Structure 1
Amino acid sequence: MGRLDGKITIVTGATSGIGRRTVEVFAREGAKVVATGRREELGRSLEASVGKDKCLFVKADATEEADVQAMVDACLSKWGRLDCLFNNAGGPAPVGGIETIPVEGFDAAMATLVRSVMLGMKHAAPIMMKQGSGSIINNGSVAGRRAGYSTSMIYGAAKAAVNHLTVCASMQLGEQGVRCNSISPGGIATGIFAKALGLAPDKADAFAESMKAMMAKLQPIPRAGSVDDIANAAVFLASDESSFINGHDLVVDGGVVGGRLWTPHQEGVKAMRQAFGVDEV
């Protein structure tokens, strides 16, 4: 028995990274999945590897309302209902100080990161409310909870909007039996970091593996986060195991937002004692 047996799901931004792995794990746990994204070749390869009996790829831009409506329609046409939507699609945002941010870059980032989430909820919610059940999962970020956890302050602001929009929607939808939660990843080794630094999307994903050693030092748990960490969190929120969880932001970050790292802090305290001529306790 899979944890998502019988569930009908949609995952946006599914052609690479977190989204692609979530589709694979959802299907392994028994779900049927509509996988969406803009890169058709990658989407078709995912559909083929998972199996067309479990996965339907729909080419869609999550920022375009007509595309979002079409993906929901395709899901209903194929499988007749919708039990879970994972609003995962995202991308980088302009970097630099606030005085340097281009308006067009700001607007594009807000469309990719926030409008896409709003559109997904807008078109999934009526289906789920009519059913009296469903789970919406929005991909947030620790950058939306703390400043300085992204190369882009605009990315952080957008993810803060996602996290709060999730809570606002949960207060409405919960009354109809529909849960709405977010996942806030920490340092997950995917191509999005290379994209944020300016690398082309078709090259960025190849750098994910090489980033793991650097990212292992960012949080108390001494390894980089993986796409499986987020996919497994999404399975939990999509499943009936989380049926009383609503309006929650599930942080999956190895403890990075907990505070200062213990060992460097203690080394700093030791250095101050030595500077003051204080004996070790």
Structure 2
Amino acid sequence: MAGRLQGKLALVTAAGQGIGRAIAERFAAEGARVIATDAAIDKLAGMDAVKTAALDVRSTDAVNAFAKAVTDEFGALDILANVAGYVHQGTVLECTEKDWDFSFDLNVKSMHRTIKAFLPAMLDSGRGSIINMSSGVSSIKGLPNRYVYGATKAAVIGLTKAVAADFITKGIRCNAICPGTIVSPSFEDRVVAVAQQTGKPLAEVRQNFVARQPMGRLGTAQEVAALAVFLASDEASYITGQPHLVDGGMAI
């Protein structure tokens, strides 16, 4: 079924690669007008079906200015997909103050910034679906060497529930997606990081990631995007404040 987001205006952060790009492209394929953003505009090359723009979600001033420009030109968002994030590798012993602050700023506070900036217009319009990217295996289950990452992604679920509760009577829905291990440039970066940390060959590290998957394979960005389309659509109009796992059964 096509056209599930026909006529809706969507904004996606971190849309230059991986899950963010898959979501932006799928939203557009379903009929949405999509604004795809990333910190580096060159990462958005080739996305012809969407409007692209550079956006540093770590800057409150940049987010506020961008939200005003978007609202003035296009009106209120119908869909806000917060995808920007960073995976820190290590336990509490390897997590510096800088690692902690950077991880929470990018993984959590960026969502606070975008929601606070775009929500007023959404409230004026009386509708909106906010989708925040959390993590299934780190926020729900817990994994070794994901100390601060797991903490941030658990915080995303709390943030999501708080927004949902505050605006449940105002036409605003807010949900979280909790992916498992997904094939993406970010995943390949983690493979390299683990290989460097452990001294193991890349192929062995990659296979170890696959071996821990109950389904015997990694997920795809397109599978996450399919869930995002559902949560963004009117089909999910009775769903809010929930973490939705797309993790191949890892949290069972």
Partner of 1:10, secondary structure, is strand
1:222 equivalenced with 2:223 (yes/no):
no
For 1:100-146, what per-residue CA distance to the aligned partner results, in whole angstroms no more than 9, with x for missing partners? 32101110111010111111111121111111110000000011112
1:181 equivalenced with 2:175 (yes/no):
yes
Give the counterpart letter for 1:91 in structure 2. Answer: Y
TM-score (norm 2): 0.89
2:160 aligns with: 166
1:57 aligns with: 52
Query: How far did residue 215 of structure 1 move?
Result: 4.2
2:118 corresponds to which of 98, 106, 124: 124
Give the counterpart letter for 1:133 in structure 2. Answer: R
The CA distance in 2 between the partners of 1:3 and 1:97, in whole Å, is: 42
Do 1:9 and 1:33's aligned partners in 2 also have CA atoms closer than 8 Å? yes
For 1:179-234, what per-residue CA distance to the aligned partner results, in whole angstroms no more than 9, with x for missing partners? 000000001111223434666xxxxxxxxxx9876544333323210000111110
Against the structure 1 CA distance between its residues 75 and 46, is the aligned structure 2 distance closer, same or farther, given a 3 Å change threshold?
farther
Against the structure 1 CA distance between its residues 211 and 37, is the aligned structure 2 distance closer, same or farther, given a 3 Å change threshold?
farther
1:10 aligns with: 11
| Higher radius of gyration, 1 or 2 | 1
2:196 aligns with: none
For 1:218-277, what per-residue CA distance to the aligned partner results, in whole angstroms no more than 9, with x for missing partners? 33323210000111110000000000001011100011100xxxxxxxxxxxxxxxxxxx
1:250 aligns with: 244
Partner of 2:173, secondary structure, is strand
The CA distance in 1 between the partners of 2:244 and 2:205, in whole Å, is: 24
Do 2:4 and 2:31's aligned partners in 1 also have CA atoms closer than 8 Å? yes
Which structure is richer in relative contact order (CA contacts within 8 A, separation 6 or more)?
2
**Which shows bigger deviation, 102-111 or 63-72?**
63-72
Give the counterpart letter for 2:150 in structure 1. Answer: G
Aligned alpha-carbon RMSD (Å):
2.1
TM-score (norm 1): 0.80
1:74 aligns with: 69
The CA distance in 1 between the partners of 2:61 and 2:46, in whole Å, is: 23
Give the counterpart letter for 1:134 in structure 2. Answer: G
Query: How far did residue 91 of structure 1 move?
Result: 1.3
Give the counterpart letter for 2:83 in structure 1. Answer: N
1:87 corresponds to which of 71, 82, 86: 82
Partner of 1:145, secondary structure, is helix
For 1:150-192, what per-residue CA distance to the aligned partner results, in whole angstroms no more than 9, with x for missing partners? 6421000000000111001100011211000000000111122
